[in-house]
Chains A and B, each alone.
Chain A
Amino acid sequence: MNTAAVVPFVESMRSAAAALRLPGSGLAWLDATRREAMQAFVAHGLPATRNELWKYTTVRGLAQRQYAPRDDKAANRPVDEALFPPEAMDGPRAVFVNGVFRSDLSRLDRLPDGVGLQSLSSALDAEPEPLRFLLGAPKDAGDDGFTLLNRALWADGVVLRVAAGVHVRGPLHVVHVGVAADAATAWHLRSLIELGDDARLAIVEHHVGEAAAGHLANLVCNIKLHEQAHLDWVGIQRAGADATLLRCTDIQLHDDATLDFHALELGGKLARHEIRVDLAGARSRFESRGAFVLHQRQHADTELLVTHRGRDTFSHASWRGVADDRARGVVHGRILVLPGADGADGGFYNKNLLLSPSAEIDTRPALEIYADEVRANHGATVGQLDENVLFYLRSRGIPLEMARRILVRAFCAVTLERIEPPSLREHCLALLVEQLREAST
């Protein structure tokens, strides 16, 4: 405890806990949970690199920083329309600005029947008991410092439920916006997405931000897919250049449920996403495709932890990364096949490109298999652009920088080609090209 007391980051979180009046305060079980979680965080501290899941992502720099507990003006701050890509946000949306839910920017009035979408704070106000299973646990074996902090300090989030048998047409958007505030602020959001039996839904999660907004967002999301449910989930991360974004998404799939995930990681100074997938139900399926393109001193870390628990479960992960300048990318893909998960089929494939001698990419595939009749494959490479191909393009008159952009775009685009609808796919490709253009200027 005494050692933790000298860490400015931990101190600023402790004083936040004292200063904030958080949703559900006064509910005995919730107050107790928050208190215990905070104690556990103070005892635990920030994740260290000896933690296998944080091996290549150090938060030493973060430990010396202090964050304001909230942005008091977040409810009224104007948001530059340019941060909102209207072509990519056609449909209902929930918008958060600096961690605060903004009903004026959200569009929840035309939700299809059978879909419930509200902020966690209002869901808790209306009926706390159904959320107790989610919010009542002070800790879990998989917790690290940030998820503990989230348990203690979550101030809002999204609760999204789709009733059994409901097939929702068109995607719902959840948008997180970071804009400059009086001080760098930390916020912690907790979300729940639950699809009933045979429900279908598409979600697009956007992270956008102004370059100068050096906030810290600590987001935890639980996704529960009941039997035969199908979720299409696209995450487009282009947080502001100074932002720290830490996400942990925990997904449980029941029998015959399917999750199809696409990720595009472009923004932030430090962005980490831990994705824990529990293929608990028989024949449940998880497919993921993702790309990151990093430049300057960006750091992005994707931790993909897939557990095959049910029989005949399937997982496929195909990720690609590009790092330029002094950027660093980390991709960790672990496939764990538990005893009894016979017939499991898992694959993790990761290809990476280094565009600069000072850039670094660490890719770590890992298989742990404790069942029979299992198929499991992995492959990971880190390479450079093919000089022969670059020369071919240049010999046709295409300047070097443009040739590099063309090849990098092609390299990443294969991970995005299944995104639906096509307008969203085009949007993702356009963001990719924009990022490459920035990278070369």
Chain B
Amino acid sequence: MLKIENLHARIAGTEILKGLSLEVNAGEVHALMGPNGAGKSTLGNVLSGRPGYEVTEGTVTFDGANLLGMEPEERAAAGMFLAFQYPVEIPGVNNTYFLRAALNAQRKARGEDELDSMQFLKLVRGKVKEMGMPAELLNRAVNEGFSGGEKKRNEVFQMALLQPRLAILDETDSGLDIDALKQVADGVNALRSPERAFLVITHYQRLLDYIVPDFVHVLDGGRIVESGEARLALELEAHGYAWVRDRTPAGAGA
């Protein structure tokens, strides 16, 4: 589904990703871990098309298409979703309006019929119930006045509504207490399916107790330096990132 080869990217002249390669197939959950500054969030931003990042080398394909040539909205319509590390507040833009505009724009781009307001309300109310979100969410402005935890839950709620094929979770666990963490994980686990893949970016192993990945990768210095199964996360937790660095001297990355 997603194939990243030898990706180099920089922002404001500083190279952050230095030859990253990764392949994610449908149905898989990949966790991407690493110390601060390793390039985790940069990868999420480059994949979703955030302006300001410059790819200097390498390729990324999504279902065989050149992802890097697509606008952010085209990537979304193709089935990519980024759960933001810092979801933005949008005063004056009502959640229901926003979600319908997003869903219909994606459907239109895919050549599907747009939902009228009745069809959409039925769908969105069902999702609110299913995800255990407060019903008044729909009448509020997007993320306005939300706590950190509420914003992160709202990201997962949007994901449930938009039904992406590849979801990238950028440190969705940061700043969450244990209850909010479980709610977020429940939401993600409910969406796991053979057609859908996840790339879970996290600094801590904690989230992976609840979202158990198929693969764990360690990112350091802009490259993946170690890959393994879910157990790798536990070893990292026990030994710290320095342990990986010791095992893989500079220049010997994956």
Interface residues of A (CB under 8 A from B): 386-389, 391-400, 402, 406-407, 409-411, 413-414
- Contact of B73 (CB < 8 Å), options: A389, A397, A407, A410: A397
Contacts of A389 in B (CB 8 A): 88, 90
Q: How far is the CB of A304 from chain B (nearest CB, A)?
A: 23
**Best-surrounded residue of B50, B72, B98 (most CB of chain A within 10 A):** B72
Find residues 73-113 in chain B having any chain A CB closer than 8 Å to their own CB.
73, 75-77, 81-82, 84, 87-88, 90-93, 97-98, 101-103, 105-106, 109
Q: Which residues of A contact B42 (CB under 8 A)?
A: none
Contacts A395-B75, A402-B105, A409-B92 known; list 16 others, CB within 8 Å. A386-B88, A389-B88, A389-B90, A392-B87, A392-B88, A394-B71, A395-B76, A395-B81, A397-B73, A397-B76, A397-B103, A399-B73, A406-B93, A410-B93, A411-B92, A414-B92
Q: Is the CB of B73 within 8 A of A394?
A: yes
A405 nearest in chain B by CB position: B101
Contact of A396 among B49, B50, B92, B102 (CB under 8 A): B102
B77 to chain A, nearest CB (A): 5
Residues of A within 8 A of B202 (CB): none
Asked if B105 and A397 make an inter-chain contact with CB atoms under 8 angstroms apart, the answer reads yes
The 26 sampled A-B contact pairs (Cβ below 8 Å) are A388-B88, A391-B50, A392-B84, A393-B102, A395-B50, A395-B73, A395-B81, A395-B82, A396-B98, A396-B102, A396-B158, A396-B162, A397-B73, A397-B76, A397-B77, A397-B106, A397-B162, A398-B101, A400-B71, A400-B73, A402-B105, A407-B90, A409-B92, A410-B90, A410-B91, A410-B93
Per the bound structure, the CA–CA distance linking A414 and B92 in Å amounts to: 7
Whole-angstrom CA separation of A387 from B45 in the bound complex: 14
Residues on A with C-beta less than 8 A from B158 are 396
B51 at the interface (CB under 8 A from A): yes
Residues on the B chain within 8 Å of A398, using CB: 73, 101-102, 105
Q: How far is the CA of A393 from the CA of B162 in the complex (A)?
A: 13
Q: Is B172 an interface residue (CB 8 A)?
A: no
A-B residue pairs, 10 tightest by C-beta: A410-B92, A397-B76, A397-B106, A396-B102, A394-B72, A394-B73, A397-B105, A392-B88, A410-B93, A399-B73
Distance between Cα atoms of A396 and B76 in the complex (Å): 6
CB distance from A425 to the nearest CB of B (A): 14
Q: Which residues of B contact A407 (CB under 8 A)?
A: 90, 93
Residues of B within 8 A of A395 (CB): 48-50, 72-73, 75-76, 81-82, 84
- B167 smallest CB distance to A (angstroms): 12
Q: How far is the CA of A391 from the CA of B86 in the complex (A)?
A: 12
Which of chain B's residues has its CB closest to A386's CB?
B88
Which residues of chain A are near B73, meaning CB under 8 Å? 394-395, 397-400
Flag if B105 contacts A392 (CB, 8 Å). Answer: no
Q: Which residues of A contact B49 (CB under 8 A)?
A: 394-395
Question: In whole angstroms, how far apart are the Cα atoms of A396 and B90 in the complex?
Answer: 14
CB contact between B51 and one of A391, A393, A396, A413 (< 8 Å): that residue: A391
Contacts of A406 in B (CB 8 A): 93, 97-98, 101
Residues of B within 8 A of A410 (CB): 90-93
Report chain A residues within 8 Å CB of B71: 394, 399-400
Say how far B87's CB is from chain A's closest CB, in angstroms.
7
Interface centre among A398, A406, A413 (most CB of B within 10 A): A398
Q: How many residues of B contact A (CB 8 A)?
A: 29
A397-B76, A399-B73 known; A392+B90 contact, CB < 8 A:
yes
CA of A216 to CA of B180, assembled, Å? 62
In whole angstroms, how far apart are the Cα atoms of A395 and B71 in the complex?
9
- Tell me the minimal C-beta distance from B76 to chain A in angstroms: 4
Q: Please indicate the chain B residues that have their CB under 8 angstroms from the CB of A394 in the complex.
A: 49, 71-73, 76
Give the distance to chain A from B62, nearest Cβ to Cβ, in Å.
14
Whole-angstrom CA separation of A389 from B75 in the bound complex:
17
Interface centre among A389, A399, A409 (most CB of B within 10 A): A399
A406 to B158, CA, bound (A): 18
Give 1 or 0 for each of B167-211: 1 = CB within 8 Å of chain A CB.
000000000000000000000000000000000000000000000
B102 pairs with A397, CB closer than 8 A = yes
Q: Is the CB of A399 within 8 A of B105?
A: yes
A318 to chain B, nearest CB (A): 14
* B-chain residues with CB within 8 Å of residue A402 when the two chains form the complex: 101, 105
Residues of the B chain whose Cβ atoms lie less than 8 Å from the Cβ of A392: 84, 87-88, 90
Closest chain A residue to B48 by CB distance? A395
> What's the Cα separation between A389 and B98 when bound, in Å?
12
**Please, which residue of chain B has its CB at the minimum distance from the CB of A394?**
B72
Q: How far is the CA of A123 from the CA of B211 in the complex (A)?
A: 80
Q: Which residue of A lies closest to B72 (CB)?
A: A394
Least CB distance, A173 to chain B, in whole angstroms: 28
CB distance from B152 to the nearest CB of A (A): 14
Q: Are the C-beta atoms of A397 and B109 separated by less than 8 Å?
A: yes
Mask of B126-161 contacts with A, CB within 8 angstroms, 1/0? 000000000000000000000000000000001000
Interface centre among A388, A397, A400, A407 (most CB of B within 10 A): A397
Q: How far is the CA of A329 from the CA of B52 in the complex (A)?
A: 30
Whether A413 contacts B105 by the Cβ 8 Å rule is: no
Question: Which residue of chain A has the shortest Cβ distance to B50 in the bound complex?
Answer: A391
Within 8 A of A (CB), among B35-80: 48-51, 71-73, 75-77
Residues from chain B with a CB closer than 8 A to the CB of A386 are 88
Residues of chain A lying within 8 A (CB to CB) of residue B72 = 391, 394-395
Tell me, in angstroms, the Cα distance from A397 to B105 when the chains sit together.
6
- In the complex, which residues of chain A have a beta carbon less than 8 angstroms from the beta carbon of B162? 396-397
Complexed CA–CA distance, A397 and B48 (Å): 11
Question: CA–CA, A398 to B93, complex, Å?
Answer: 13
B82 neighbours in A (Cβ, 8 Å): 395
Contacts of B106 in A (CB 8 A): 396-397
A157 CB to closest chain B CB (Å) equals: 38
Contacts of A409 in B (CB 8 A): 92
Closest residue on chain A to residue B161 by CB atoms: A396
CB-CB < 8 A to A400: which residues of B?
A: 71, 73
The reply to whether B92 and A413 contact each other, CB–CB distance below 8 Å, is: yes
B88 touches A387 (CB 8 A): no
- The interface residues of chain B lying within 8 Å CB-to-CB of A399 are 71, 73, 105
CA distance A392 to B93 in the complex (A): 13
